[in-house]
Structures are given as structure tokens and as C-alpha cells.
Structure 1
């Protein structure tokens, strides 16, 4: 059985990449050092080898392209016509022909220049001939660049074609667009074809597989076909026509009797009669879909007549060469892919009809006699008149009886779902969690369980005066809240003088303006740059301006200014105690309290040094995930040990692919001449 796998076709490079690949290989695989002091025969051989090697590489690469692309005359007619529909076989053959011509031209160029190189009289002449030969070969490749690009596009498209075996058991689904073909294949196979409520959702052939009687069947979903002349059909419709014409398959013609597809039964019947010639020698069945919207008995008399005519045509379809007419039962079937009513019966009927047809064809073939000669069915002959009834061992009968009892008990046992249905259904029935308790007495499961603590009933420890004490506590809490409420002061403006009320109104107005300004700035904070305070030209954020504003309101700004200054982040020099206190008391003895100048300097240096120094790496800090300092030191030690190999390999991490030596000497120092081992 021939299998077509177009995914294995080698990638076709474009013209520029093709030249780069071949010339790079020539440079790497042939000698690169030659001197004018060599014998002329050696120089000729050096350049002849380069020309021949380049020609052979071009020949092999082009031959691979020609051999791997399928020949339309040698493959199955289904694939031949499908490729013609998709790509136009004239353009396809022309592109491959140009590749073949380029291959012959390159061989001819190489042959001519090798002849000229045999008579080269100097290194310069041989090198010029070599350059000319390789240049002409590359020119030939560049001229077929469009053909190479065209073949690469075809290769990519062919790799996406479904893998269809033309010779296996196949079920083909056809009909008008949007009649339920893709929904049917999704129901009976594991295919995932896109289903949408509009026409021509399926634009190419889709393949799924299903099983029937332990045999694998191939199900093909074809795009929708419209009833119009053959020459007016587009590529999408021609894919379906090609599959119907060349595949030996059971054909399911889908008929939408509800009309929701946008086409009437008359239009679908006209399509059936226009393509009925493609149904010859194939099992044909008419499937009336979407019976959930419109049953078959509910259609009009005219439509019933059209369906009957289609059924008669299907009855006339011949199963094989000289075969009998099909049976009436399996010709017209009804189903609904939405409710899945009749889907399995349609699949089984199609598989059964196809299987019977394939068996009849094999029975009529000439190979049957050759197969029957290999078979011998042995029939035992009766040797006496004794009766020998079947004997079943007692152990087997006992095992059967036990199994039957177990099955009967299993059927009698009520499941949780049955109990739920009997007791009101979901949302009403609550499953009992106590029925699975392992207790000495089954009746104990439904007992009311007291709360037990340390072997005693919890109710034994309930304080009988707890409610009275709770009331006393609430009363005491209420009194305390009343006392605190008297101390609270809320500025509602009722007890203020007119001047104070005016100041309060001004403060509240200013506060609302500041809130609004802050919200505006917050909304534009991402796009607004931050301006340092020293570049504040408008002087909006100075303590003097704040003092003037508070003074204008009749308030003393001294406390606010001092509070703002106290929030400065700069470090202040500690004042010595020799200055005295604020009450005018004299300073204490300097020698008793103030340290010496040298001590103060050493202390300030130590403080500055401690401020600038960071914590040691091994210092233990709670919250880092370590139990104590030795555990942290051990973890640091293991980390350093694991990093040794990465550091040795000059890698930052495990996934680093760094190359320490960008130009290794053995790749950039030339070739070694014969008899020497040192590098150039």
C-alpha cells in the first residue's frame, strides 16, 4: 500500500542561500592553499578539484529537489488531480523542468571548464578559469530563483495537506455548504473541524478516523458544493469534486430538510442530479439532517416528491461491476447532529454498506481462487453412535453462581444518586455523613452527639450567671463610652466667633483646593517629570510662603514652620552640653562630661565608617530562611562550590552558551602542508 507523506520533502532554499551553501561547502571541503612555485600539474589538479566538487554539490542538491517532489503521472490519480487543482500542474512541471535544465547546464559548464583547466599554463590562468566556472554556475542558479521560491511555497502547502490513503476503507461526506457535514465528522471521529453558522467554513479536505467491527475507517469531510457549471467552480469546490471522482468510498449526501442552510430542498436535489455521475460504483446514502428543526414527515408534498426521486436514483446505483441494486432500508436515513439522534446509526449503516461492497469485489476478483487453495477447513467425522454432551467443571459453575449473586446484589444496592432522586433531588436532599461510621451498634449512627472535652460534657462547665455578668459588662462599657464622648470636641462652628468662623471657612476652602490640585497631579504623574525643589522658580513649596499664608489667615505660623524644619533629612552635628540648657542654667563642668577632642574624632570616624560599611555576607539576620549562623555559612559554602564549575567554563549561569574563545586558532590558522605538523 502506497503511503504519501509530503512532510518529508527537503526545504528548498532560495537562489542566494543556494549559492552560499554550495560555495561554503566547497571552501570547507577542498584544499585552500596553493603556491605559484608548485608544479603546473599540481596547480591544475587543485583548481579542477574545486570545479568538479562544486558541480557535484549543485547536481546532488538539485537532484534531491527533483526526486523528492512527486511526479504527477506516477502517483495516485486522486493526488495528481488534487495537486493540479491546487497548484496548476503546468506551472508545477515547468518549475521542475527548469530545475532539471539548470542541473544539466551546470554539468556542461563544469565539463567545459575542466577541459580548459587541463591546458592552463599558469596559476593566474587556472585561478581565472576556476572563478569563471563557479561564477557561471552561480548565475545559472540565480536565474532559476523564481522557480525555487515557487517550489518552496508548494512544499510548505503540501506539508499541510491531510494524509489521505486512497486505498483504505473511506467514508466521504458531501453536499451543499452549511448542511452539517463538519458537525457529523466531529461527532463520529476525533477530528476537530471548525463549525460556524455560515457557508464555506470548511475550505479544504479534513480527515478523521473511526472504528467499526474492529476495523479502522477513514472519514473525509469535503467543502460545500454549489449547483453551477463545472468551469465556474472554484478551487474549494474542485477539492470535493476530485475526492468524489477518484476515491472508492461510501458517499453520504447530506440533505438539509429544514432549509436553515440557506438553500431549498429543490436546489439540493438539483445538485444531487448534476453530480450523480460521480456516485457510480459507490455505496450511496442520502442523509436528511437537522430533523430537530423539521422532521421528514412535516415537509411539503413537492419536497417529498423530490426526496423520493433522489432515493430512486440512489437505488439505481450499482455497488460493483454487474452488482445488484441497493436495499431500500439503508438508502434514506434521518438524523440530527445537535441532539445526536441517528448519528451512530448513519455511521454504522455507511460502514456496513462499504464493508459489504469491498467483500463482494474481492469475491469476484481472480485472486480469490488463489487464496482458497491455501485454506483447508477440517470437518470431524462421527466415529461411533455415542453422545458426548458439553461438560462444564463444577468449579466453573460455582464461580458463575457467585458472580451472578454478586451482580444481583449490586443491582439491588441503592446508589447515592437513587437516594437523591427519591428524597427531592439536588438542592433538597442532603447526604448523611454518619452512615459510613464504624460503630459497634448501627443504631448509634443517628444519635445526637454531645460536645465532649477531656472526657466531660461541655455543658457541665457552662457558667449559669454568664448572662447577668454580660449585662453588667455591657453597662460598664456604655458608661465608659459616654465619658469619652464628653471629652471629644467636634468643630462644627456653632461656638466660634464670627472671625474664627471666617478663618475656619477659609481653611476648609484652601484644604479642598489643595486636595483637588493633588488629584490633578496624581492623574498626570506618569507623564509629568519630577522637578527638584531647588529649581522651584514659583517658590510654591517654601516655609516663608507658608508662613505668609498662615499669617494672612490670622494664625501664628511659628509652630508649623518649626515642625516642617524638624522633618529635614540631613544629619545634624550633636550639640555639646557645654552650651547650657534653655532655662539659662550654667553649663556643667566640661571635663566631667565632654570627652577629649581626640576621642570625639575617633568616635565620629567610627560612626561614619559603621554607617558606610555593609553587613558581612555571613551575618545571620532573622527572616532570611536560615535557622542560625552556621547553617547560613554552610549554605554560602555550598553555593560557592557549585559556582566553581560555571566560573571555570566562563558561564554566568546553567543556561549560558557563551563561547570564551571567539576565534580558536585551529579554525583560523590555515591548512597544514604535507609533512609538517605546525600551524600557519
Structure 2
């Protein structure tokens, strides 16, 4: 976990913006109206509050900036030296010191002017003292404007720095420029470092993460280093020196054996020897890169001798604290090519393994281990007698083992994972053990869910067979219909014209019946009722319904009466007779309306009684509803008597809106603003 989150530091405003923020907040958060007719004590308190609030706001803003910026003496030495290289330790401390001084002086100004305001004898004098206090505070903040601008630039740059944890498992890559460091980190992590065929493409530290043995590892790519004295190195090179000096990591020193980087092996060996003190007590690997251009065996004898000397020095550097358990010297020299990816995974695994052993050995030799051992008890079983009890294996199993031919060891999924990049890089093929009819189907991409439905619910293994049966059945049905309807030409000519017309009418009627039957099957019972005004053929009549029910042996009187009652209108009276041919009720227009019918029509249009209880109102009977209405009317009587506003009264919340009645408007600006 990273202990220093440099990306959440508050933005540092400029000196002018700082003053505007504080004065605007003072104006908004404190009272703004004062009159000379007020008591002098009230006037003093008014202006003292202004001065104190301004000082508190300055104190809060400056305190936030000072607290959020890291203190170089309290953080990890890696971050302390890194900030010294990037921003100059003295300049950084001086800027924060000026803010602390400004904070202290603002507090002193506040105390002095509050003391003077206690003895102010008029509104004018108190106002001038307040003005002087705020003016001195603002002048002081404008003087520290350059420090605020410098800290804002530092904040922006720190926010772009990678999040490096100096205490976690780390692999550090170093070497001359353009030797393949960035290409290697791009291969083993998800970092996207720019790679170009020229020197110093990488100008800052880049961080990537990889997995090995189910642990997360931090990989740091450093800028290239040249072989010259420490005081002559620039800021970019000092980033690499700082990382090598303070981070306890497995160091990979890259050597370009092909010479395409522009530096010979002798120059690279000289750089290795000059920065060798930075490798002490750290696992060190010498990695020969770009072997696709030139292999290690094809090098001249002098260059090969230099690389072997670097290998010996690497084995000595890897000694120190872990000298008793380190792996063989052969593992201190590795070869690889990022173009063909030969040896890339081997370099990563070897570096991780050496660093893991280094850290474990360091913890084993620490003083904390004894405290842990004292709390652990390992129980060892005691033998109860001297008899030996070997494992019992049936004879049949032994015979089967002896008869079975030796087979190759079984390759586990973990073996495949280690060979193909390790955890986090290797993805297991779960389709490999699918049992399918065709082996080529294993790599087919079939979605599990489509349009919100599970694909497995629609899979039918016999779908092709059923489709063939449906096609065969449809073909047979069409042939049967053609045999029924079609006639030979000779037989059709033998018919008279009247018979031919009758045959065509029969065929048409049969076709209509068949279509109507199909329509009924598709719509089922969801077909809507046909309104009477659209019943052009007069098929859906009351008389027809009576005849149909009578044929079924059902008394149709109740159904006919219900149908007639629903069809009776309010404005016109209809007779009780029916026209059998028309199929509808006959209308007697000339018959006058009786008084009884007029009263009946009028009562139907009246609303229900006010005291009638409707389900859902919450009253058990009319008496309870009447009592509740009376109580409500009585409660509103007093409010109505004093003409007070109620919930339903129309009201104007603000009679004089500020945007219409505040401020001065020039000529011609009386429109709504």
C-alpha cells in the first residue's frame, strides 16, 4: 500500500485569487448591515467579527496547504531525495516556511486590530480599523504570491508522479539508454511505456505490476544512466540513482550485447563498476538483451570476459545478508530478447525468486522471529512400541503397477501457468475438456444469453429432423388439396355452364370457410367484440342470439332483457317491439315521453348523497363521516374568522424580488433582469 497519496493535495491558488476567495467568503458568511444609530458596543462587535472571521479563513486555507504537502524530514528517504532532485529541497522548505510565517503574521495582525477595535468610539473609526486590518492581511498574502505559484507547480508535478511503494516487493531495471528496459517492462506488465529507437526516450520513473506465486510485484523502469561522475549527472539520471539507493529491490542491470544502443560492452561494464556500491545487499542479475541480433557465444573474447566479470560481481553483491541460501552463480547471468520473447519469462521468474528468498532470509535472521517461535508449539508423536507398520498395498495393485508401461508425468494446470507468464498473465482454457460431437466445435464462440433469454432453453438436438417432418407434412397436405380441387380438363369441359358456375361457387365458399377457420385459430379468444355501427351485415342481433339459445335448449329471456336494457338510450324512448327482418329494435319517435320516464332520466343524472360512504374513504358508516366533516368545519372557523391564510389560499411568497428591486439601473434598463 502506498503511504503517500500525492494526487489528493488541494489546489494552491495564486496570491490574488487567495485574497478574492477569503474576502468573498467573509462577505457572504458575516452580517453586512450596520447603522450609526446602533449602540457603540454593537458596532464594535460587528467589525470585530469581520476581522476575526477573515483571520480564521486565512488560517484555515494556509493550514490546509501546509499540512497536505509532505514534510521532507518525515517521509521515506526515497521520496525525500526524489523531491530534492525534482524541486530542490531548500526552495521547497523555504516556500512552506514563508506560508507558516504568513499564517503567524495574519494572526498577529488580527490580535492587534481587535485590541484597537475594543476602544473604537464611532462607526467611522471602527470601519477604518477594520479596513486597515483586512488591507494589511491582503498585502501580506500578495507578498507570498511567488511561493504560492511555486507550490502549485510542485503540486501539479507531484500529481503526475507514479505511486511507488518503497517497502513492497520490487524489481528495479537499470542500465544504459536504449538497451531494452522499457520493452521488457511492457512485456511482463500492463504498463505502456513509450519505446523509440533513440536514447533517453524514458525521462522519468514508470511503474508496472505483475504477479508471481499469487503475489503482486512492483516493476520500476528507470531512465538511462551514463558513465560520468555523480556531480555531472542531470535530473533524469538522478532519478535512477535515487531509486537504486533507497529501494530494496531485485536489480536487473541490462547489457546490450549487440551494441545497437550506441555504447560498447566496455562502456557498459564501466558503468556497472561505477554504480556497483548501489547494488550492495540486493539481489542482482546481469541481463544480456537483444540476443536475436547477436548471441552471447558469438561475442569476441574480450567482451565475453567483461560480461563474466560482471557476473562474478553480481554474485558477490547478491551475497551479504542472503549469502547462505542464494542460488548458483549461473542464475546471475541471463539472456533474453523482447522481440522473440525468448527468455523474458525466465528473467522475471528468476528475479522474483531471488528477491523472495532474500526477503525470507532477512526475516528469518531478524529479532522478531524469536518472539514468533516462542509462541509456536510443534507437537511430535511418540512411538508406542518398536513394531514397524509399513503401508499395506494390495497385491493386485502392485501387479497392475508393475505391468503398466511407464508414462510421461502428468502436466498440471499450474505447470502450464508457470510456462506461460504466471498468475495474472496466463488464462486457463476451460473449453479444453468439453465433450462435443466434433472437436472443432470447442473454440466456437456461443453466447450464453441473447436478448435476455438463455440460449440453452432453445437448443433442440432433433431440430433438423423435425424440420424435415414438417416440410414433408406440408408437401403432402398441398398435394391432397390440389387433388380435391383440381379436375382434369376433359372432365371440366363435360360440365354445362350452370354446373361450372356452381362448381366455382362451391370452391369459393370452401376457401372462405377455410380462411375463416384459420383466422379463428390464430386469434383464439382475444378477438374483440364488433361494435353495432360496424355490423353492416346485421349478423350480431338480439333475435339471432334468441334463436341460437333456443336451439341449444336455453331460455333466452334473461339474456335478451339484459341486452335490451344496455341498448336503451336516455334521450329517446324505444318501443318494446322488434323488427325481425332488420334484427334491431323498432323506434317509436312519435310516442310522447311520460312524466315517470322523465323523472327516471333526471334521477339517473343526479350525483350521490354527500353523506354516503364510499369504499376507501376510511369511514365505517355515514354517522362517522358526518361527525368528521363537522369537526373539520369547526377547526377552520377560527382561521376564517381572523382571515388567516390557509393551505389552499393563493399566496405570493416574495412581494419584492431582489433581482427587480435591488441595485441601480441606468436609463433604458428597466426591463426584467
- Give the 3 Å change call, closer, same or farther, for CA 438–137 of structure 1 in structure 2: closer
Pair 55,224 (structure 1): closer, same or farther in 2 beyond 3 Å: same
Instruction: Specify the alignment match of 2:145 in structure 1.
Output: 145
* 1:362 and 2:398 are equivalent in the alignment: no
- 1:33-182 matches, within 5 Å, as 33-182=33-182
SS state of the match for residue 287, structure 1? strand
Q: Contact 1:319 / 1:326 at 8 angstroms: preserved in 2?
A: no
- Is residue 2:343 matched to residue 1:334? no
Q: CA deviation at 1:89?
A: 0.9
Partner of residue 264, structure 2 = 264
1:287 and 1:235 map into 2 onto residues whose CA distance is 25
Partner of 1:201: 201
Deviation at 1:2, TM superposition (A): 6.1
SS of residue paired to 1:298? coil
Q: Could you tell me how far 1:411 is from its partner in structure 2?
A: 9.9
Contact 1:14 1:149 in 2 (8 A): yes
Distance in 2, matches of 1:381 and 1:360, equals 32
1:353 is aligned to 354
| Residue pair 1:318, 1:326 contacting (<8 A) in 2 also | no
Residue 35 of structure 1: CA displacement? 1.1
Q: 1:126-152, CA deviations, whole angstroms, 9 ceiling, x for partnerless residues?
A: 000000000000000111111111100
After superposition, the CA RMSD in angstroms is 3.4
User: Could you tell me which residue of structure 2 aligns to residue 298 of structure 1?
Assistant: 298
Q: Report the Cα distance in structure 1 between the residues aligned to 2:442 and 2:127, rounded to whole angstroms.
A: 95
Q: Is the partner of 1:297 in helix, strand or coil?
A: coil
Runs of 5+ unmatched residues, structure 1: 393-403, 420-435, 445-450, 457-660, 671-680
Q: Match of 1:460?
A: none
**Residues 231/386 of structure 1: CA separation in 2 closer, same or farther (3 Å cut):** closer
Find the aligned partners of 1:668 and 1:339 in 2 and give their Cα distance.
Answer: 79
- Structure 2 distance, partners of 1:255, 1:351, is 19
Report the counterpart of residue 238 of structure 1 in structure 2: 238
Give the Cα separation in 2 of the matches to 1:408 and 1:669: 79
Q: Secondary structure at the match of 2:277?
A: helix
Mapped partners of 2:90, 2:56: distance in 1:
29
Counterpart residue number, 1:313: 313
Report how far residue 414 of structure 1 moved: 7.1
Q: What's the CA shift for 1:347?
A: 0.4
Separation in structure 2 between the aligned mates of residue 41 and residue 249 of structure 1, nearest angstrom: 69
- Residue in 2 that maps onto 1:651: none
Please tell me whether the aligned partners of residues 178 and 198 of structure 1 are also in contact (alpha carbons under 8 angstroms): yes
Residue 216 of structure 1 corresponds to 216
- Contact 2:322-2:358 within 8 A present in 1 as well: no
Whether the aligned pair in 2 keeps the contact of 1:286 and 1:311 (CA below 8 Å) is: yes
Distance 1:315 1:454, change over 3 A: same
**Residues 207-244 of structure 1, C-alpha deviation per residue, up to 9 Å, x if partnerless?**
01111111111100001111112111111111000000
1:416 CA displacement:
3.7
d(CA) in 1 for partners of 2:156, 2:433: 62
TM-score, length-scaled by structure 2: 0.59
Deviations 1:556-607 (CA, angstroms, capped at 9, x unpaired): xxxxxxxxxxxxxxxxxxxxxxxxxxxxxxxxxxxxxxxxxxxxxxxxxxxx
Whole-angstrom CA distance in 2 between matches of 1:667 and 1:57: 33
Task: Give the whole-Å Cα distance in 1 for the aligned partners of 2:71 and 2:197.
Answer: 39
8 A contact 2:322–2:362 mirrored in 1: no
Judge conservation of contact 1:320–1:357 (CA < 8 Å) in 2: no
1:51 Cα shift?
0.5
- Mapped contact 1:210–1:219 kept (Cα < 8 A): yes
State how far apart, in whole Å, the 1-side matches of 2:202 and 2:228 are: 19
Indicate the residue corresponding to 1:521 in structure 2.
none
1:342 to partner: Cα distance? 0.5
Offset from partner CA, 1:294-353 (integer Å, 9 cap, x none) = 111011111101111111111211444484476212100001111111001100000000
> What stretches of structure 1 move > 3 A for 4+ residues in a row?
318-326, 378-392, 407-419, 436-440, 451-456, 663-670
Deviation at 1:16, TM superposition (A): 1.2
* Corresponding residue for residue 189 of structure 1: 189
C-alpha contact (below 8 Å) 2:322/2:361 kept by paired residues = no
Q: Which runs of 5+ in 2 are unaligned?
A: 395-410, 412-430, 444-460, 478-653, 664-673
The aligned counterpart of 2:424 is none
Matches within 5 A, 1:572-591: none
Alignment TM-score, normalising by the size of structure 1: 0.59
The residue number in structure 2 matching 1:471 is none
Query: Residue 108 of structure 1: CA displacement?
Result: 1.1
- Deviation digits for residues 366-424 of structure 1 (CA, Å, limit 9, x no counterpart): 000111122223334455769596999xxxxxxxxxxx9xx9997998744999xxxxx
